[in-house]
A and B are shown apart, each in its own frame.
Chain A
Amino acid sequence: DGGITQSPKYLFRKEGQNVTLSCEQNLNHDAMYWYRQDPGQGLRLIYYSQIVNDFQKGDIAEGYSVSREKKESFPLTVTSAQKNPTAFYLCASSRGTGGFEQYFGPGTRLTVT
Protein backbone atom coordinates (compact mmCIF):
# COMPACT_ATOMS: atom_id res chain seq x y z
CA ASP A 1 0.00 0.00 0.00
CA GLY A 2 1.53 3.29 -1.10
CA GLY A 3 0.96 6.39 0.92
CA ILE A 4 2.08 8.84 3.55
CA THR A 5 2.26 8.00 7.20
CA GLN A 6 2.45 10.39 10.10
CA SER A 7 3.07 9.42 13.66
CA PRO A 8 1.85 9.70 16.26
CA LYS A 9 -1.76 10.69 15.62
CA TYR A 10 -1.97 12.55 18.94
CA LEU A 11 0.98 14.12 20.75
CA PHE A 12 1.08 15.94 24.07
CA ARG A 13 4.00 18.01 25.29
CA LYS A 14 4.81 20.45 28.02
CA GLU A 15 5.63 24.01 27.13
CA GLY A 16 9.35 24.58 26.61
CA GLN A 17 10.02 21.13 25.13
CA ASN A 18 10.99 20.46 21.55
CA VAL A 19 8.99 17.78 19.77
CA THR A 20 9.56 16.01 16.45
CA LEU A 21 6.74 14.89 14.18
CA SER A 22 7.38 12.03 11.81
CA CYS A 23 6.41 11.92 8.12
CA GLU A 24 7.27 9.01 5.82
CA GLN A 25 6.20 8.37 2.22
CA ASN A 26 6.67 5.36 -0.04
CA LEU A 27 5.31 7.02 -3.17
CA ASN A 28 8.80 7.80 -4.51
CA HIS A 29 7.84 11.47 -4.53
CA ASP A 30 10.55 14.10 -4.77
CA ALA A 31 8.73 16.95 -3.01
CA MET A 32 7.44 16.99 0.56
CA TYR A 33 5.60 19.63 2.56
CA TRP A 34 4.55 20.48 6.11
CA TYR A 35 1.38 22.43 6.81
CA ARG A 36 -0.24 23.69 9.95
CA GLN A 37 -4.02 23.81 10.30
CA ASP A 38 -5.83 25.70 13.05
CA PRO A 39 -9.55 25.24 13.81
CA GLY A 40 -11.78 26.61 11.08
CA GLN A 41 -8.83 27.69 8.98
CA GLY A 42 -7.06 26.61 5.86
CA LEU A 43 -3.62 25.10 5.50
CA ARG A 44 -0.54 27.25 6.05
CA LEU A 45 2.80 26.14 4.67
CA ILE A 46 5.60 25.72 7.20
CA TYR A 47 8.45 24.17 5.19
CA TYR A 48 8.82 22.34 1.91
CA SER A 49 11.51 20.28 0.25
CA GLN A 50 11.82 19.64 -3.47
CA ILE A 51 14.77 17.28 -3.23
CA VAL A 52 16.86 15.41 -0.71
CA ASN A 53 19.18 17.58 1.38
CA ASP A 54 17.36 20.75 0.38
CA PHE A 55 14.41 22.57 1.90
CA GLN A 56 12.87 26.05 1.94
CA LYS A 57 10.88 28.06 4.43
CA GLY A 58 7.18 28.45 3.85
CA ASP A 59 4.92 31.20 5.12
CA ILE A 60 5.16 30.41 8.85
CA ALA A 61 8.58 28.79 9.41
CA GLU A 62 9.49 30.61 12.62
CA GLY A 63 9.84 28.22 15.54
CA TYR A 64 10.05 25.13 13.31
CA SER A 65 12.90 23.15 11.77
CA VAL A 66 13.09 20.28 9.27
CA SER A 67 15.57 17.91 7.69
CA ARG A 68 15.49 15.89 4.48
CA GLU A 69 18.26 13.34 4.71
CA LYS A 70 16.27 10.65 2.91
CA LYS A 71 13.79 10.89 0.06
CA GLU A 72 11.18 9.03 2.08
CA SER A 73 11.38 11.06 5.26
CA PHE A 74 10.72 14.70 6.18
CA PRO A 75 10.54 15.12 9.98
CA LEU A 76 9.35 18.39 11.50
CA THR A 77 10.62 19.68 14.84
CA VAL A 78 8.45 22.10 16.74
CA THR A 79 10.81 24.04 18.93
CA SER A 80 10.18 25.88 22.17
CA ALA A 81 10.51 29.10 20.16
CA GLN A 82 7.15 28.45 18.48
CA LYS A 83 4.78 30.69 20.41
CA ASN A 84 1.54 28.85 19.69
CA PRO A 85 2.41 25.25 18.77
CA THR A 86 -0.94 23.60 19.50
CA ALA A 87 -2.40 22.71 16.10
CA PHE A 88 -3.12 19.96 13.58
CA TYR A 89 -0.01 19.25 11.49
CA LEU A 90 -0.26 17.80 8.01
CA CYS A 91 2.49 16.37 5.86
CA ALA A 92 2.13 16.05 2.10
CA SER A 93 4.16 14.93 -0.88
CA SER A 94 4.05 15.41 -4.63
CA ARG A 95 5.88 13.93 -7.61
CA GLY A 96 7.81 17.09 -8.17
CA THR A 97 8.36 18.70 -11.56
CA GLY A 98 5.08 18.63 -13.44
CA GLY A 99 3.26 16.71 -10.75
CA PHE A 100 1.30 19.24 -8.78
CA GLU A 101 -1.19 17.12 -6.88
CA GLN A 102 -0.22 16.83 -3.25
CA TYR A 103 -1.02 13.69 -1.30
CA PHE A 104 -1.65 14.17 2.39
CA GLY A 105 -0.96 12.08 5.43
CA PRO A 106 -3.54 11.54 8.22
CA GLY A 107 -2.11 14.37 10.35
CA THR A 108 -0.74 14.72 13.88
CA ARG A 109 -2.65 16.69 16.47
CA LEU A 110 -0.14 18.35 18.79
CA THR A 111 -1.24 19.77 22.12
CA VAL A 112 1.21 21.80 24.19
CA THR A 113 0.27 22.76 27.73
Chain B
Amino acid sequence: GESVGLHLPTLSVQEGDNSIINCAYSNSASDYFIWYKQESGKGPQFIIDIRSNMDKRQGQRVTVLLNKTVKHLSLQIAATQPGDSAVYFCAEKPPNFGNEKLTFGTGTRLTIIP
Protein backbone atom coordinates (compact mmCIF):
# COMPACT_ATOMS: atom_id res chain seq x y z
CA GLY B 1 0.00 0.00 0.00
CA GLU B 2 0.92 3.63 -0.23
CA SER B 3 2.84 5.09 2.64
CA VAL B 4 4.30 8.36 3.77
CA GLY B 5 7.85 8.32 5.03
CA LEU B 6 10.32 10.72 6.55
CA HIS B 7 13.98 11.20 5.65
CA LEU B 8 15.26 11.68 9.21
CA PRO B 9 13.88 10.17 12.39
CA THR B 10 15.60 12.74 14.67
CA LEU B 11 16.69 16.33 14.31
CA SER B 12 18.46 18.62 16.78
CA VAL B 13 18.47 22.37 16.24
CA GLN B 14 19.92 25.25 18.24
CA GLU B 15 17.32 27.54 19.78
CA GLY B 16 16.71 30.50 17.52
CA ASP B 17 17.83 28.71 14.38
CA ASN B 18 15.48 27.59 11.62
CA SER B 19 14.60 23.92 11.22
CA ILE B 20 13.48 21.93 8.20
CA ILE B 21 11.66 18.63 8.52
CA ASN B 22 11.28 16.56 5.37
CA CYS B 23 8.71 14.05 4.22
CA ALA B 24 8.54 11.85 1.14
CA TYR B 25 5.19 10.62 -0.05
CA SER B 26 4.59 7.83 -2.51
CA ASN B 27 1.13 8.47 -3.93
CA SER B 28 1.59 11.04 -6.68
CA ALA B 29 -2.19 11.49 -6.84
CA SER B 30 -2.57 12.61 -3.22
CA ASP B 31 -4.35 15.95 -3.17
CA TYR B 32 -4.01 17.13 0.39
CA PHE B 33 -1.19 17.15 2.92
CA ILE B 34 -1.05 18.08 6.56
CA TRP B 35 1.58 18.51 9.27
CA TYR B 36 0.93 17.63 12.89
CA LYS B 37 2.95 18.25 16.05
CA GLN B 38 2.79 15.73 18.86
CA GLU B 39 4.19 16.41 22.31
CA SER B 40 5.01 13.54 24.59
CA GLY B 41 1.92 11.77 25.92
CA LYS B 42 -0.50 14.02 24.02
CA GLY B 43 -2.58 13.85 20.88
CA PRO B 44 -1.31 15.36 17.62
CA GLN B 45 -2.05 19.03 17.01
CA PHE B 46 -2.65 20.56 13.60
CA ILE B 47 0.16 22.84 12.39
CA ILE B 48 -0.49 23.61 8.75
CA ASP B 49 -1.95 22.01 5.64
CA ILE B 50 -1.58 22.40 1.89
CA ARG B 51 -3.53 21.27 -1.12
CA SER B 52 -1.86 19.82 -4.17
CA ASN B 53 -2.66 22.86 -6.29
CA MET B 54 -0.26 24.92 -4.16
CA ASP B 55 3.54 24.89 -3.82
CA LYS B 56 3.89 26.85 -0.64
CA ARG B 57 1.83 27.93 2.30
CA GLN B 58 2.86 30.07 5.25
CA GLY B 59 1.59 30.23 8.79
CA GLN B 60 2.91 31.78 11.94
CA ARG B 61 6.64 30.86 12.00
CA VAL B 62 5.92 27.82 9.83
CA THR B 63 6.05 27.25 6.09
CA VAL B 64 5.11 24.13 4.19
CA LEU B 65 6.62 23.47 0.78
CA LEU B 66 5.26 20.93 -1.66
CA ASN B 67 7.32 19.61 -4.55
CA LYS B 68 5.06 17.37 -6.59
CA THR B 69 7.77 16.57 -9.11
CA VAL B 70 9.77 14.60 -6.56
CA LYS B 71 6.86 13.89 -4.20
CA HIS B 72 8.43 15.78 -1.33
CA LEU B 73 6.93 17.80 1.47
CA SER B 74 8.82 19.91 3.97
CA LEU B 75 8.00 21.87 7.11
CA GLN B 76 10.13 24.88 7.93
CA ILE B 77 10.00 26.32 11.43
CA ALA B 78 11.58 29.74 11.83
CA ALA B 79 13.36 30.97 14.96
CA THR B 80 12.83 27.76 16.88
CA GLN B 81 11.84 27.85 20.53
CA PRO B 82 12.07 25.20 23.28
CA GLY B 83 8.33 24.62 22.91
CA ASP B 84 8.89 23.42 19.37
CA SER B 85 10.51 20.23 20.69
CA ALA B 86 8.12 17.44 19.68
CA VAL B 87 7.51 14.74 17.11
CA TYR B 88 6.29 16.06 13.77
CA PHE B 89 4.15 13.95 11.45
CA CYS B 90 3.18 14.51 7.87
CA ALA B 91 0.05 12.92 6.45
CA GLU B 92 -1.40 12.64 2.97
CA LYS B 93 -4.89 12.14 1.64
CA PRO B 94 -5.17 10.05 -1.52
CA PRO B 95 -7.91 11.33 -3.85
CA ASN B 96 -11.32 9.87 -4.62
CA PHE B 97 -11.45 7.81 -1.50
CA GLY B 98 -15.00 8.85 -0.81
CA ASN B 99 -13.87 9.72 2.67
CA GLU B 100 -11.22 11.69 4.48
CA LYS B 101 -8.79 8.95 5.48
CA LEU B 102 -5.25 10.19 6.02
CA THR B 103 -2.06 8.14 5.76
CA PHE B 104 0.50 9.14 8.38
CA GLY B 105 4.28 8.97 8.30
CA THR B 106 6.32 7.60 11.18
CA GLY B 107 7.38 11.04 12.44
CA THR B 108 10.54 13.07 13.08
CA ARG B 109 11.57 13.96 16.62
CA LEU B 110 12.73 17.58 16.76
CA THR B 111 14.85 18.60 19.75
CA ILE B 112 15.61 22.27 20.36
CA ILE B 113 18.94 22.79 22.11
CA PRO B 114 18.91 25.79 24.50
Contact = CB atoms under 8 A, between A and B. Distances in A.
A102 B41 contact: no
Contacts of A27: none
Interface string A23-59: 0000000010101000011110100101000001011
A41 B44 CA distance: 13
A1 interface: no
Interface in B33-69: 34, 36, 41-46, 49
A47 B98 CA distance: 15
Nearest to B98: A50
B46 A50 contact: no
A50 B41 contact: no
B34 A42 contact: no
Given A90-B44, A104-B44, A107-B41, A42 B104 contact: yes
Interface in B55-114: 89, 93, 99-102, 104-107
Contacts of A33: 101
B44 A42 contact: no
**Residue of B34, B43, B44, B93 ringed by the most chain A CB atoms within 10 A:** B43
**Residue of A6, A33, A100 ringed by the most chain B CB atoms within 10 A:** A100
Nearest to B34: A101
Q: Which 10 A-B pairs have the closest CB atoms?
A: A104-B43, A42-B106, A43-B104, A42-B104, A100-B100, A104-B44, A107-B43, A106-B43, A100-B32, A94-B100
8 contacts: A42-B105, A90-B43, A100-B34, A100-B49, A100-B100, A102-B100, A104-B36, A105-B43
